[in-house]
Amino acid sequence: MDNIDCAKQKIRAVIAGSRVPEDPRHADNTLEWLLRLEPNSGEALQLAALAHDIDRAIEEIKVRRADFDDYDIFKAAHARHGAELLRPILTACGVARDIVDEACRLVEVHEVGGDPSSDLLKDADSISYFDVNLPLYYQREGWAETKRRSLWGYRRLSARARKIVENIGYEEEAMTRLLRKLIHESIH
Ligand SMILES: [Fe+2]
Q: State the pTM of this model.
A: 0.93
Q: Ligand 1 centroid vs 125 CA: distance in angstroms?
A: 5
C-alpha closest to that of 49 among 115, 116, 112, 123: 123
Closest by CA position to 51, among listed 74, 22, 83: 83
Residue 154 pLDDT grade (very low, low, confident, very high; cuts 50, 70, 90): very high
Mean pLDDT of 35-61: 96
CA 50 – ligand 1 centroid, Å: 9
Task: Compute, in angstroms, the gap from residue 148 CA to the centroid of ligand 1.
Answer: 16
pLDDT of residue 41 exceeding 70: yes
Work out whether the CA dihedral 2, 15, 45, 124 comes out positive or negative: positive
What does the mean pLDDT of the chain come to? Answer: 95
132: CA distance to ligand 1 center in Å?
A: 11
Distance 24 CA to ligand 1 centre (A): 10
